[in-house]
Chains A and B, each alone.
Chain A
Amino acid sequence: MVVANIEVSETPLMLYALRRADDALILGHRLSEWCGHAPMLEEDMALSNIALDLIGQARELYSYAARAEGGDNDEDKLAYLRDVRQYRNLLLVEQPNGDFAQTLVRQFFYSAFADLYWRAMMSSRDATLAAIAAKSEKESAYHLRHASEWLIRLGDGTDESHARAQAAIDHLWAFTGEMFAVDDGERALIHAGIAVDPGPLRGRWLQTLSDVAREATLILPQNDWMQQGGRTGRHSEHLGHLLSELQSMQRTFPGLTW
């Protein structure tokens, strides 16, 4: 049975919210894959908690995006009835969980950015975005603390954990540049005081990373080649598999209420 993808009118404001919503949903989904399988019960709890925060953020942002679009779409249509090429999340967040180190490094890179980003968005001229940012900032501050503490434990733990953490950093580094990229539509929203300009946040982001890496006895890569594409729907191969699972019910049983 084939259920058609929805059509989305990506006005700059709609697309802006959609990109952030997709980041939160995809990362939340990835973290939720750990539930029941984490290295210790405390981490089953913590990773689920972070996943719940992110899914909550995604729901608010999707609803906002749907309102900005002004059509028939809603949070579930946006989440469940768009294909890979219509998804707008960062490549970083769709990367597979890998081992615990890879999951934590992915979270660390993202949360160190998100914390700064949401804090800046609290001054958005758009009251809804400012309110979503205020809630999300509190959550991401905790996510960052959790990931930082783990990275230090892993980096300065055993030889094995150090090697795994370093490998995860090296592997995921090239996916971090995309967080700071801006296109023309977003540039206009930044000028209007609605969106956040991520460029100026990079210095502080890097400072957070350096501080934690130093304490963790880990090294940040020097290479500056960065992968791009998530924001325009050119994803890694991993996202399609994630979506086929995430969307299976809505694709199999179209148009029902659950």
Chain B
Amino acid sequence: MYTQALNTAEADDRGLEDAAKAAQFQARIDAEERIEPNDWMPGAYRKTLTRQISQHAHSEIVGMLPEGNWITRAPTLRRKAALLAKVQDECGHGLYLYAAAETLGSSREELVDAMLAGKAKYSSIFNYPTLTWADIGTIGWLVDGAAIMNQIPLCRCSYGPYARAMIRVCKEESFHQRQGYEIMLTLCRGSDEQKAMAQDALNRWWWPVLMMFGPPDATSQHSDTSTKWKIKRFSNDELRQKFVDATVPQAQYLGLTIPDPGMTQDADGHWRYSEIDWTEFKQVLAGNGPCNRDRMAARRKAHAEGAWVREAAAAYAAKRAQRQTAQAAE
């Protein structure tokens, strides 16, 4: 779901590579051709994409936790089934994305180990807690909405497996986004208590969602390399502005107030938001968000407690292969 513009491209190491191959590679990118797993690619391109795709996969998997927090408490059977299906979709996205990352030469195990060791990042948004049912609506509406804004351009990313994964992921995300908005609409048409719940959730999620697009362009390094490689097609601030412009009318329709009293609409129709608290963003990235420790602990626990199951599956597969070999030899 949720790529975050945390990803900074590796320094371009073309100088160290075969110059002719590098020139040919860039020419293919410029001609909007897709790069496929067996094609030659600069080491830095491979490394940048491995990092970005695996961070995206980790985000999907960690992202199951805040929403999963409400599966057992969803207010109706219809909502329960829809939420469970949604969280299951996130898991599916994680699986595709790990598979896409594996085409670049790293195994899922290595990538997951890096995340569990705290060496790989995931989207900062999942370090916030889901406190009420309205948070489930808000995550669908805003977090998935922001993810779609980030990911639609990735459907045209130069790396084929990632671009194709994004096409499928975006279709499902747009369904999730509508589902989340529908939860909000139901709350906003409900009792005063439900409306207050919806407004409270918007108040808590609004700023962290804007941070999902990553640091402002002025401070973002290396994105020129990602742009040249057509991994990134819009800047953080461009995507953030698009998101805000799309979201303000949606909030108005719900009758909710965006928690930014300084927001104004400019002559071109763009909604200009106030300064984002980047200190909070940095703190959350540094591990100091409200749920960083809980999220990592939950993933590590699942991994550790599942070890005997994975070992059993591997042991059984080995025994079976051995028996089949023995049978074939008879």
Contact = CB atoms under 8 A, between A and B. Distances in A.
Report whether chain A binds chain B. yes
Interface of A: 25, 29, 32-33, 35-45, 48-49, 51-52, 55-56, 58-59, 62, 75-76, 79-80, 99-100, 152-154, 156-158, 160-161, 164, 245-246, 248-250, 253, 256-258
24 contacts: A35-B84, A35-B88, A37-B68, A37-B301, A38-B302, A41-B98, A44-B91, A45-B92, A45-B95, A48-B85, A48-B87, A48-B88, A52-B84, A55-B77, A56-B81, A156-B316, A158-B311, A158-B315, A161-B309, A246-B72, A249-B75, A256-B190, A256-B191, A258-B75
Contacts of B78: 59
Contact of A49 (B79, B88, B186, B307): B88
Given A33-B72, A59-B81, A153 B312 contact: yes
B252 to A, nearest CB: 22
Contacts of B187: 258
B73 interface: yes
B76 interface: yes
Interface string B292-322: 0000001001100111111111011001000
B306 A39 contact: yes
Nearest to B317: A153
Interface of B: 61, 64-65, 68, 71-81, 84-85, 87-88, 91-92, 94-95, 98, 133, 183, 186-187, 190-191, 193-194, 298, 301-302, 305-313, 315-316, 319
A153 B88 contact: no
A33 B79 CA distance: 15
A171 to B, nearest CB: 17
A49 B95 CA distance: 15
Contact of B91 (A45, A59, A156, A164): A45
B205 to A, nearest CB: 19
A246 B73 contact: yes
Contacts of A76: 76-77
B192 to A, nearest CB: 11
Given A39-B305, A253-B194, 9 more contacts: A32-B72, A38-B302, A41-B91, A48-B85, A59-B77, A99-B305, A157-B316, A253-B75, A258-B76
B84 A258 contact: no
B302 A36 contact: yes
User: Which has the most chain A C-beta neighbours within 10 Å: B61, B74, B308?
Assistant: B308
State the main secondary structure of chain A at its contact with B: helix
Contact of B68 (A36, A52, A152, A249): A36
B312 A157 contact: yes
Contacts of A257: 186, 190
A35 B306 CA distance: 13
Nearest to B183: A258
Contact of A48 (B75, B79, B91): B91
Given A35-B64, A36-B87, A44-B88, A55 B81 contact: yes
B81 A35 contact: no
Contact of B312 (A43, A158, A248, A249): A158
Contacts of A40: 306, 309-310
Contact of B84 (A41, A55, A152, A154): A55
A24 to B, nearest CB: 11
B306 A100 contact: yes
Nearest to A165: B312
A54 to B, nearest CB: 10
Nearest to B71: A32
Nearest to A56: B81
User: Which has the most chain B C-beta neighbours within 10 Å: A39, A42, A62?
Assistant: A39
User: Which has the most chain B C-beta neighbours within 10 Å: A35, A38, A62, A250?
Assistant: A35
B91 A161 contact: no
A245 B305 contact: no
B61 A41 contact: yes
Contacts of B306: 38-40, 43, 100
A25 B92 CA distance: 24
Contact of B308 (A152, A161, A256): A161
